[in-house]
Every structure is written in C-alpha cells, then in structure tokens.
Amino acid sequence: MMDTDEIGYLGVAELGALYRARKLSPVEVAKAVLERIERIDPMVNAMMRCTPDHALAAARQSEMVFMRGDTARLLEGIPITIKDLQPTKGVQTDYATAVMQGTIPDVDAPVVTRLLDAGGMLLGKTTSAAEWGWKGVSQAPISGITHNPWGKGLNAGASSSGAGVAAACGYGPLHQGGDGAGSIRMPAHFSGVFGLKPTYGRVPSWPISNNDLATHVGPLTRRVEDAALMLQAIAGPHPWDFTSLETSPQDYAGQLKAANMKGKRIGFTRDLGHASVDGDQDLRRLAGQEAGHPLDVVALVGEVSILVEAAAVLLDQDREVIGGEREADLAMTLLQEGRDEPLAIAVDLRCTQEEPLREAP
C-alpha cells in the first residue's frame, strides 16, 4: 500500500481509478486518513470529533462494490467531513456553542444525506471555530483555537475553519462548509485551498441557520474538480428548503473539463484597497509574468482596484453596468470624493493600473 500521507492528498478521480484497478481499497483509505488525522490534528485542531465506526462501515460497503464490479456511485469510497453546524444523525453536533453542546441529532441535514447516499465515508465533524458560525476568527469556546496550517497561532478563517484546514492537511479530498458572510471563502483563502459559495438555492440548506436565509452550503477542497463533483452530489431541490432551486444537478466536473479559458479576464488585487500582502513582489511576478494554467489555456491577467467594485456596491445597484477604463477611473474618483452621482460603473475586472492586461504564457 502507498504511504498514508500520500493517500490523504489523493483526489476523487485518483481514488476511483485506484479502486477500480484494485490497487487500493476504501477500507485502506479510511484507515490511512484516520491515522493521519490522529497524528496531525493535535497540531491544528481541525476536527471536532472523528467517526471511525461510520467511516469503516461505509468503507466496507464500498469495498464490496468494487470487488463485485458493481456500478459505483459518484463518491463511492471517498472520505468526507461535515462541518459541526450541520446535523448528523446519531453523531454529536455542538454547533460550536456550550448552549447546544452534547446534542445528538435524530436526522441528517440534506447535504449530509446526499453525500452519504453518493458513497461518501464520514470521517467526522470539523470545527466551526466560531460560536454559531458568527465570526471570522478561528476560535470557539468549546473547541479552542483551530490553527492555520501554514502557521500555528495564525487565524485559519471562519466559520468553516476546520474544513479549510482539513483540506489543506490532507484529511481526504472533500470537506463541507457553509457561507453566509465569508465562512467558506475566508477559510479557503487563509488555508490556501479551493472554496465555493454556490449560487443561492443551488444546495439545500436545512435547518435554517441563525443568520436566517443567508447561508450557502458548499465544498472546500484542494482541487476544483473535486469541488465540482461534490457540488454535483449535493445540489438540487429539496422539500425541506423552500428556497432551493428546482434545477437538477448538472455534470459540473464534465463542464469544467470542457471549459475554455482562452480570452477570459482574470483580475487580482494585491491589497483589497487597504491591506498589504506579505511577499508582494512575488505576487506581482507570479500574476504578471509567470501566470499559467494547468490546461495550457490562455487567459488575460491584470491587476484591478477594489475601489471599482466597492463603487458598484455603494452607488445605486440598478445603474447600468458597462465596461471601460474611463468609467472605472471615474467611479474611483467619485468614491474617493464621497460623491454619489448617477454613473455607469465598470465592474468587469478591467485593469486600472498603468500596465495593460497581459496574456499568460
């Protein structure tokens, strides 16, 4: 069997190929990732609790599927984690607060049911290192600090702190998060992984969260393809969420592979208009000179000012949105002067710096 650390970083497609080739089994994977969690998690505190019995029971079922040559489900034998704000039947769910500590739900949230029905192996619950998910700092009274995987004591983002850290630390490929005001995006950014806040209603959210109808349920992963597969498993309407979209799940991973980035514009900001970034020169070099894409496609890369997008928010939302550097410059001028005048705002990521957009090599 391959090294346990290597197993923890394998993607969904890689695991499926190894299962089909009988070079690795779901039981071996579940044991390997659980062993890695036991060894690594004391340093980062990403897991609220592990569920080895659940994981191994699911692993044995998936192993029989591959041994018999049966049709595998979308996520057959794939390790998953669930954020501790999502109810899991028979598995303690504390909602990151002493008020609910010790709660044993008698039902799974829809997203949990769908991941398990798709063949996922539940490794455990990740920390929502913010009480009730209500802050952007990775610390909660009942779980303590969830450490950034790149530096102990540094903020890992919140509230899906554990999911982001778990993805970065190789606790398997798929980790569920939720986002009302950045709770997927912040942990993904801080831990250096991929996070997706899906279109509102794309994934059913139940029960209604403490921020009312603002929560979006979505994936945190190391690979975009894995997030696409996870989204395919959890998307679609559900009777428990009246805001869920009626559109059926699509082949998001297939669409991703067929996507053509040629001619697309990619905008980046070095400082969000107010905050400097460590390694600023390295960022400029990577984005401006060495930006590439694993699929050998060509995209236009340029730096944008966050003031352009801020102007679009602060000024009337229903004004015409058009492109053009002149409009972008005017928008920033008005914003800086504190003026609120009718204006067509440019928010299409056009470069507003001296250097033009460049084709990535």
Closest CA to 172 of 25, 29, 44: 29
Task: Collapse the DSSP code of 57 into the 3-class scheme (helix H, G, I; strand E, B; otherwise coil) and give the result.
Answer: helix
* 138, 157 contact by CB (below 8 A): yes
Residue 106 to residue 211: CA distance in whole angstroms: 23
Q: Which residues of 16-47 are buried (b: 16+ CB within 10 A; e: fewer)?
A: bebbeeeebbbbbbbbbbbebbeebbeebbbb
Give me the residues paired with residue 268 across strands. 303
Give me the residues paired with residue 91 across strands. 88
Structure tokens at 171: 């606790």
Give me the residues paired with residue 218 across strands. 177
- Exactly one of 160, 183, 205, 244 is catalytic; which is it? 183
Residue 173 to residue 188: CA distance in whole angstroms: 14
Phi, psi (rounded to 5 degrees) for 8:
-65, -20
Strands, sheet with 300-303, edge to edge from the N-terminal-most edge strand: 265-268, 300-303, 358-359
Q: For residue 241, count other CB atoms closer than 10 A to its CB.
A: 19
Give me the residues paired with residue 88 across strands. 91
Task: Collapse the DSSP code of 148 into the 3-class scheme (helix H, G, I; strand E, B; otherwise coil) and give the result.
Answer: strand
- Exactly one of 31, 62, 83, 209 is catalytic; which is it? 83
| Longest Cα–Cα distance in the chain | 70
Q: For residue 109, count other CB atoms closer than 10 A to its CB.
A: 27
- Exactly one of 159, 161, 191, 244 is catalytic; which is it? 159
Is 83 designated active site? yes
Residue 42 to residue 35: CA distance in whole angstroms: 12
Is 183 designated active site? yes
Is 160 designated active site? no
Residues carrying an active site annotation: 83, 159, 183
